[in-house]
Amino acid sequence: MGGKYSKMDPMDVEVPDIKTLLDRDPYLKPYEKEIRRRYAVFKDCLDNIDANGGGLDNYTRAYEYYGMHIQPDNSIVCREWAPNAKGFFLTGKFNHWNRDSHPFVKLDYGKWELVVPPNELGEPAINHLDEVKLVVVNQNNQKEDRLSPYAPYVVEPKKEEGLTYKQLFYNPPKEQRYTFHFKSPPRPKSLRIYECHVGIATQELGVGNYDNFTNNIIPRIVKQGYNAIQVMAIMEHAYYASFGYQVTSFFAASSRYGTPEELKRMVDVAHQNGLTVLLDIVHSHASKNVLDGLNMFDGSDACFFHSGSRGTHSLWDSRLFDYSQFEVSKFLLSNIRWWMEEYQFDGFRFDGCTSVLYHSRGIGQGFSGHYDEYFGLNVDTDGLVYLMLANYIVHKFNPAGITIAEDVSGMPGTCRPVDEGGLGFDYRLAMAIPDKWIELLKKYKDDDWNMGNIVHTLTNRRWMEANIAYAESHDQALVGDKTIAFWLMDKEMYTHMSVVSPPSAIIDRGIALHKMIRFITHALGGEAWLNFIGNEFGHPEWLDFPREGNNSSYHYARRQWNLVDDELLKYKWLNQWDAAMNKTENKYGWLASAPAYVSLKHEDDKIIVFERAGCLFVFNFHPTKSFTDYRVGIQGGGVYKIILNSDEEQFGGFKHLDTAVLIHSQEGDYSGRSHSVQLYLPSRTCMCIANIETLN
């Protein structure tokens, strides 16, 4: 967008609150000039938008200008941006698929326009759900069919119709348009996210739909105590097995799950039930698909993307956006605005931020944490400033909006406001945590787990940059990997998960550790919590979408709700524990509180003790040893009570703990705390205790 060519001296740039950023982390001081330079580029982009884009509000509503739009006189105005095209036509059922009768007129700056007049009855010449195609004349004077980048509705063809997705003119009559009835709930102080996928949310061997999710899954999520959903794979993707990460139509809600109106109802009902609704948005790359997607849209290698090798992600085999282009930035920022305005999404998880931030795309790069890695020449200024702009517009048009970064590099300032010189995200995913749990389960015996290393991984985050903690997400559920439940219990999950089956040491261990791993991550690992659909009850097996390699089977592309609903199966215990964690957090609010104070990491006893939000959390990871009268430190005197413990019968425990017994603190410094309490700690259990004055 031209901002990177600013002649301004970075040290003369006024960053409104950079002092706050530098005071918080003095190690950033040597990089102040670079931080100011980035902010200067960001400001140049905003100035350019004001000068040449009609202001930010107009600029981020490009979907009202481009695409196909009914006018008051029932004419249809069609506009596209295709700077390298030599000609442009519209064809479809309305003109009997004549590829020459409706040419576009070329405007300035690579824009094309066509006005389709009303028919002889004064009605729109193109009916609702009629198929249309764009015909692009490339540099070799060849005509090629394309879908509009701004198409709001594209559908998968029937088998006899070929493979190419079809663009349907979307103009439903007023009585068919969904009207939102409910406002978004207030932004949660403690964010508890249920990461989900509409297509796999069914138990049937097929693709789930928006209505199934609305009617059957939202009640489950609410019952579990979550206050937000993060919906994956909504942006249309021709290849279902890409999990939604090879987007072909950025403005189209995936039609494989239903209609746009049904998605609107899903979001509205979620809001009615107090759920904040987040969209998994993919702006880091786009599908290479030419006939269905953006690739080669105007007949050239460039258009929306960098040309040559810079425009291709070598691992993902996809195209990379040229964020510096005025129309590309407009397209992507308007895409964010579209999902906010048209579908009322409350925020976004930005996928693949590492690829956006670095010229290396993060490929083969292990980030050591040295600040030179974050402020050197490998940083892609265009991509970085795009993310600043994206966060800026989300929070400008929805101050309560939530943005989440998926970034493995740990760039400083990612979750600090743009006005501080940060990127502006509200949260980043704590991606090292699930990796640590898989490493422990895969490589180490229980006796060899290092308590200090676990605590370090769970607490190693930047001060006042909020993290979303999770023990596993969709990444760990995919075929080729294993969920935590499967790592723990795969040998006997098919034979010993009945409550009437013979006792099993493997299942007992698995259920105990599944609860402990999730609870310590929930309470210690961040400022928000995330769970992937089904993992709350230890869903067995992996997730594998229908593809050629599995004979197009849906067997693993679903959630087996019958397992958790069956009172004779042990999955119910993990499900009840998950709900209890969330509901206890809802009362005490540890996610919204300051990071925990860890008072004990005992390697021989395998004990971890910490305090957060006025609660004391105690974990005994020892595989065989239980401890009586185990003294742990606590800040503040009084009488305490166990408010949650994994050994209760309803959670598959052995009822060794009497939760009715009151725990009296003893005055005197212990483990650096003002008081202490003595507790019975059964092997492989965890508990949370609180002062009885807070129980009501």
224 and 194 Cβ atoms separated by less than 8 Å: yes
Which residues in 354-452 belong to E strands, given as ranges? 402-405, 427-429
**Half-sphere exposure at residue 620, Cβ-oriented, CA atoms within 13 angstroms:** 22
Active-site annotation holder among 351, 382, 426, 578: 351
**Could you write out the DSSP letters of every residue in 531-553?**
EETTGGGT--S-B----GGGTT-
Radius of gyration, CA atoms only, the chain: 27
172 and 185 Cβ atoms separated by less than 8 Å: no
Which residues in 391-547 belong to E strands, given as ranges? 402-405, 427-429, 467-469, 528-532
- Is residue 322 part of the annotated active site? The answer reads no
Euclidean distance between CA atoms 380 and 386, whole angstroms: 10
Helix-then-strand count for the chain, H and E:
16, 30
195: left (phi over 0), alpha (psi -120 to 50) or beta: beta
Return the structure tokens found at 229. 């959903």
Burial 181-190 (b: 16+ CB within 10 A, else e): eeebbebbeb
137 and 84 Cβ atoms separated by less than 8 Å: no
Euclidean distance between CA atoms 385 and 394, whole angstroms: 14
Euclidean distance between CA atoms 423 and 419, whole angstroms: 9
- Is residue 406 part of the annotated active site? The answer reads yes
Burial of residue 151 (number of CB atoms within 10 Å: 0-12, 13-18, 19+): buried
Euclidean distance between CA atoms 230 and 354, whole angstroms: 20
- Tell me 417's DSSP state: -
Closest CA to 171 of 195, 199, 151: 151
Burial of residue 453 (number of CB atoms within 10 Å: 0-12, 13-18, 19+): middle
According to the 3-state scheme, what is the secondary structure of 640-684? EEEEEECCCHHHCCCCCCCCCCCEECEEEEECCEEEEEEEEECCC
- Tell me 523's DSSP state: H
Helix/strand/coil percent split, the chain, to 5: 35, 20, 45
Active-site annotation holder among 406, 407, 420, 465: 406
Burial 666-692 (b: 16+ CB within 10 A, else e): eeeebeebebbbebbbbbbbbbbbbbe
Which residues in 448-578 belong to E strands, given as ranges? 467-469, 528-532
Residues annotated catalytic, as ranges: 351, 406
